[in-house]
Amino acid sequence: MQTLIWNDLTEEEKKQALTRPAISASADIKKAVENIAELVKSKGDSALFELTEKFDRVTRDSLVVSPQEINDAINRIPEELKQAIQQAKRNITTFHEAQKPQTVDVATQEGVRCQLLTRPIQRVGLYIPGGSAPLFSTVLMLAIPAKIAGCQQIILCSPPPIADEILYSANLCGVEKIYTIGGAQAVFAMANGTETVPQVDKIFGPGNAFVTEAKRQVQQQGTAIDMPAGPSEVLVIADEFADPDFVASDLLSQAEHGADSQVILVTPSIELAQATETAIEQQIAKLPREQTAWKALENSRIFIGEDLRECVNVSNQYAPEHLVVQVENPRNLLPFLDNAGSIFLGAYSPESMGDYASGTNHVLPTYAYTKTHSSLGLADFSKRMTVQELSPQGFQQLAPTVMKMAEAEKLDAHKQAVSIRLAKINAGI
């Protein structure tokens, strides 16, 4: 990892040092995804079968996972893993239940009642990647809040063969329809519907470059998505009291995600930085995904700050997906941390806890989107509506204000909608 003294950098050098590896769908990916979109649109289920054979090398008679397949998968899951998934589900449920919105019903003035109502998004689609690391934990992170929010239709797509753990987790969370469809074609199937796959209103879940590009395209066409996606990342703020073995393990836990992941260490202690690099070299050799982690480290940085306040400033500028705070009194820094997807305070709060079972959601904005976007939560599976109701007395009192404002904006019909009513009230009609 490249080590830089923050105060030795010019403003332009600081900006460059905090830049993520470039992410952009190549022209080839965009064109390939557009072709998939057209194929799914024109041929429906037939296209999904063809693309499954082409990309997943799997031939199926049905796009739907049968109850028997789900039961068989459940029976193959070791009991210890079932218990672990169930505990994670309990914690995630507890945290998201606590996010249920409070009732807002207020009189802004006498006779003027305003309310804020929350309603679930009716139809949602969950995409769960397969491959070498089937993310069954993401099933919990998506399906649990969807259920709590009250979404009436929850479907799940994942490329075949779907891992037993994904099927078990989906069944545990009450997902009733599971489809063996992966890649961009799954996104387009959920966005537009086919003979078998129902159309949804919003699509959630991570994926590769093709899935990400497909989500971008369907968003432009009117289907909502969870959030902008980018490579995984972590920033660790650590002081001289931090354990370098812990710091190294947190950096590597994100570096193993992919070669385009980025990990950052910000510390006022050069000694801690050097000890962490030594610990990384010792730990990385034990990882099955060692080469992937090394490639990610090529894009990573260590910044030496003057003090912890400066380290916080660097973190807020970078705006990480995951922020790990390993300092002597971590909660003291919390009021100053403004931009992060999820924050992990203290030596015994590794990012892995939030990824799986602490209760918070691991679907987080990346690529500095934490400056404007939030971590996934219950609110993402619902929408808000406002209600207003005025009594005749409340209307009369507010009418002059509204007419004056409408007149100033030269919107005469707005003024008229008030003045006609006011005239009838004054006439006793």
The 10s digit of each residue's pLDDT in 190-205 is 999 999 999 999 999 9
348 annotated binding-site participant: no
Within this chain, do residues 301 and 420 fall inside the same structural domain, yes or no?
Answer: no
Q: How many CA atoms within 13 Å lie on the side-chain side of 276?
A: 35
Position 25 pLDDT exceeds 70:
no
Has residue 291 been placed in a domain? yes
Domain-embedded: residue 272: yes
In a domain, 379, yes or no: no
Mean pLDDT in the chain? 95
The predicted structure's pLDDT at residue 231: 86
* Percent of all residues in the chain with a pLDDT value above 70, rounded to a whole number: 99
pLDDT at 260: 86
Whether residues 313 and 170 share a domain: the answer is no
Is residue 393 annotated as involved in ligand binding? no
23 band by pLDDT with thresholds 50, 70 and 90:
low
Q: 87 pLDDT exceeds 90?
A: yes
Say if residue 127 carries a ligand binding annotation.
yes
Residues contacting 36, CB < 8 A, separation 6+: 51, 183, 184, 185, 188, 210, 214
Q: How confident is the model at residue 133 (pLDDT cuts 50, 70, 90)?
A: confident
Report strand pairing: 2-5 vs 322-326: unpaired
Residue 373 lies in a domain: no
Sheet containing 112-120: order of strands? 104-109, 112-120, 382-390
Q: Once rounded to an integer, what is the mean pLDDT over residues 355-366?
A: 96
* Residue 329 marked in a binding site: no
pLDDT given at position 24: 64
Q: Of 359, 381, 406, which residue constitutes the final position of a domain?
A: 359
Q: Are residues 155 and 290 in the same domain?
A: no
User: Domain count of the chain?
Assistant: 3
Q: What is the CATH number of the domain that holds 57?
A: 3.40.50.1980
- Annotated ligand binding at 373? The verdict is no
Pair (136, 43) in one structural domain: yes
Q: Could you tell me if residue 317 is inside a domain?
A: yes
Asked if 102 contacts 379 with a C-beta cutoff of 8 angstroms, the reply is no
Domain match, 279 and 325 both: yes
Measured CA to CA, the distance from residue 114 to residue 386 in angstroms comes to 7
Question: Per residue in 300-345, pLDDT tens?
Answer: 999 999 999 999 999 999 999 999 999 999 999 999 999 999 999 9
- 254 marked as binding residue: yes
Same domain, 199 and 243: no
Torsions phi, psi for 107 (to 5 deg): -90, 110
Q: Is the pLDDT confidence value at 366 over 80? A: yes
Say yes or no: 269 and 411 in one domain. no
Query: What is the extent of the structural domain holding 422?
Result: 391-427
- Global pTM value: 0.94
User: 94 and 73 in one domain?
Assistant: yes
> Which H/E stretch holds residue 296?
helix 290-298
Tell me which of 318, 340, 359 is where a domain ends.
Answer: 359
- Which of 228, 261, 290 marks a domain boundary? 228
Q: How many C-beta atoms surround the C-beta of residue 35 within 10 A?
A: 11
Kindly tell me if the per-residue pLDDT of 134 is higher than 90: no
In a domain? residue 94? yes
| Residues with catalytic function | 321-322
Relative to beta strand 233-238, strand 262-267 is parallel
